[in-house]
């Protein structure tokens, strides 16, 4: 599976009910942060997350995801940018 396809699956798995912020042990059961969503779908986690880190212009996906002001719409927009970058790279 190409990174663009993994990123799309990760994005699709993040909904109002499944997206979460904060410490995994303190979040509602079954919720995922942006990085975890990639992890459950990706074989090459580091390569796939490099596209998302490019899209958000920071190295810490977890800190970016967990920012108090972060919204699911912003997470989806970042995934869209990462997917486009992966496709542009032929991935």
Q: What tens digit of pLDDT does each residue of 37-56 get?
A: 999 886 788 899 999 999 99
CA dist 63 and 67 (Å) reads 6
44: its two tokens: 């090459």
68: its two tokens: 């108090």
Q: What is the pTM of this model?
A: 0.91
Q: Which of 61, 87, 85 is nearest to 74 (CA)?
A: 61
What is the residue-level pLDDT of the chain in tens, covering all 91 positions? 899 999 999 999 999 888 988 776 666 677 889 999 999 886 788 899 999 999 999 999 999 999 999 999 999 999 999 999 999 999 9
CA dist 88 and 67 (Å) reads 28
Tokens 């796939």 label which residue? Answer: 48
CA dist 86 and 81 (Å) reads 9
């Amino acid at each position: 599976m190409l990174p663009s396809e993994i990123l799309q699956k990760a994005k699709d798995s993040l909904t109002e009910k499944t997206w979460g912020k904060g410490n995994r042990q303190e979040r509602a059961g079954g919720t995922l942060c942006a990085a975890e969503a990639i992890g459950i779908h990706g074989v090459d986690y580091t390569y796939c997350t490099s596209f998302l880190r490019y899209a958000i212009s920071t190295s810490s996906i977890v800190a970016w995801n967990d920012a108090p002001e972060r919204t699911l719409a912003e997470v989806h927009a970042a995934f869209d940018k990462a997917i486009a970058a992966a496709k542009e790279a032929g991935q």
